[in-house]
């Protein structure tokens, strides 16, 4: 399946992906209205330590440990390979946050559920918005194989 990959060497650490993600999932058409003056809760986050920085979001693992650990059955891996969370079924126990080895499942800001990148299949963007707007092409959406 097509997944999001990040090239650490090309990542500028500009955090623009985080804003593009928050905008994509805001449900608001106007970017200024969606973001201005608001604390954002993006599903992609720049992971940084000194000179090292790269964007991290859900890897849509082949054997997702979050899906296997979910206490409510809210997390599923679809036939399209996308790992999704049903926020209606989720009770917000955050077991998925505790087991995701990439730190890519996040507590939802309203506190009653978890949230994660669903490759912009759950909003109006049609394609991953972080990829589309990465100024240096560090985030890509493509097929790759294991190793």
In the complex, the residues that contact other proteins under the rule CB under 8 A are: 3, 5-8, 47-50, 52-54, 56, 59, 61-62, 65, 68-69, 71-73, 88-89, 91-103, 105-107, 111-112, 144-147
Query: Whose CA is closest to 21, among 53, 48, 57, 50?
Result: 57
- Hey, CA dihedral for 58, 147, 132, 38, is it positive or negative? positive
- State the minimum distance, in angstroms, from the CB of residue 141 to other proteins: 13
Torsion of CA 117, 60, 68, 54, to 10 degrees: -70
Strand 106-107 to strand 83-85: parallel, antiparallel, or no bridges (unpaired)? unpaired
Closer by beta carbon to other proteins, 11 or else 125: 11
- State the minimum distance, in angstroms, from the CB of residue 70 to other proteins: 8
Contacts of 8 (CB under 8 A, 6+ apart): 52, 53, 54, 138
- State the minimum distance, in angstroms, from the CB of residue 127 to other proteins: 19
Closer by beta carbon to other proteins, 5 or else 34: 5
Closer by beta carbon to other proteins, 124 or else 136: 136
- State the minimum distance, in angstroms, from the CB of residue 82 to other proteins: 14
Closer by beta carbon to other proteins, 30 or else 80: 80
Helices (H), 25-104: 31-35, 65-69, 95-99
């Amino acid at each position: 399946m097509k997944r999001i990959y990040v090239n650490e060497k090309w990542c500028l650490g500009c955090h623009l992906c985080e804003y593009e993600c928050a905008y994509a999932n805001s449900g608001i058409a106007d970017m200024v209205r969606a973001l201005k003056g608001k604390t954002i809760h993006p599903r992609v986050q720049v992971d940084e330590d000194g000179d090292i920085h790269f964007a991290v979001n859900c890897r849509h693992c082949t054997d997702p440990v979050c899906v296997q650990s979910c206490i409510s059955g809210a997390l599923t891996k679809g036939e399209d390979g996308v790992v999704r969370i049903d926020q209606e079924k989720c009770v917000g126990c955050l077991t998925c946050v505790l087991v995701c080895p990439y730190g890519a499942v996040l507590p939802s800001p309203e506190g009653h559920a978890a949230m994660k990148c669903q490759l912009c299949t759950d909003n109006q963007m049609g394609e991953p918005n972080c990829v589309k707007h990465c100024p240096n092409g560090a985030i890509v959406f493509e097929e790759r194989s294991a190793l």
